[in-house]
Amino acid sequence: MRIGIVGLGRMGGNIAIRLTRHGHDVVVHDRSADVTVKIAGRCEENRAQAVASVAEMATALEGGRRIVWVMLPAGAITEACIQELKTLLSEGDIIIDGGNSYYKDDMRRAEELREHGISYVDVGTSGGVWGLDRGYCMMYGGTKDATDHIDPILAALAPGAGDVVRTPNRDGSNLDPRAEQGYLHCGPAGSGHFVKMVHNGIEYGMMQAFAEGFDIMKSKNSPVLAEKERFDLNMADIAEVWRRGSVVSSWLLDLTAEALAKSGELSEFSGEVSDSGEGRWTIEAAIEEDVPAPVMTAALFTRFRSRSGNNFAEKILSAQRLGFGGHVEKK
């Protein structure tokens, strides 16, 4: 298939490259002309066309049902791009938002675009900077017609079943086999980003639990304790042994172990931890639904606190965010 991709940052560029590795053709554009040329050059030979504008992309995709994947930061920049595309595309064309937009914005956009005959698909995309080789876990919402049409694109981006052991009893007729491949049609427009939003809220809580646990262990050698009660524990070795058969083994633990092996004190991190919005939106949804979410709420508030003084726990969080998403936080 042929698809346009707007925004070639940490994930957008790798999505374009991965698609060409799986036999698809891409038309790529970034606000930086140098980035556009660089990504086009990393794609498979003769499978990428670099363009200087969104309008030029719309023209280059003519000749069939046009598909444009927008991979930009959530908010005004994504909104502006989609509004521009609304004036350039035609009935039957498809706009995909693969960023981290607020799901209620997706619902509004889908309704607006429907009036013009344009389909809108929201794709919550997880995989960070590792997605090029590992593939992306995707949760998406939209009409069956539009999502079925782009299925070859999503299948190419997904990680596939790999060597993950099958979950027992997944042969029921009400279960979607695509979930085992790492991508899932969640429902109507907005549902994909809603599921990804909650995913990121859970991520906040998991990261915080690791961060606090390592901080407690590191502080076991604190002078506030009686000398006979102190342990001088090696954080890198503990992270490594937990990776081997422990019930808390995970990709987040892998990233923590990698960071600690490189720098036991994590002195390259300030400990000031950002939040990208999804944690806040998850808690807002919990409030609207009268669902208690104390762990995720506390994890979000801890990130707020980290910006006015921090400790080893926040440095663990920063190391994890750099590992899975390439997020560089100021020192």
Q: Which residues belong to the active site?
A: 196, 203
User: What's the longest Cα–Cα distance across the chain?
Assistant: 77
Q: Residue-wise over 229-255: b if at least 16 C-beta within 10 A, else e?
A: eeeeeebbebbbebbeeeeeeeebbbb
Ramachandran angles phi, psi of 142, nearest 5°: 155, 180
- Tokens 């998850």 belong to residue: 282
Q: Residue-wise over 136-159: b if at least 16 C-beta within 10 A, else e?
A: bbbbbbbbeebbebbeebbbbbbb
H helical segments located in 103-227: 103-114, 131-134, 144-149, 151-157, 191-218
Distances (CA, A) of 125 to 69, 130, 242, 265, 316: 12, 12, 28, 32, 23
- Angstrom distance (rounded) from CA 12 to CA 25: 14
| Nearest Cα residue to 148 out of 268, 241, 29, 67 | 67
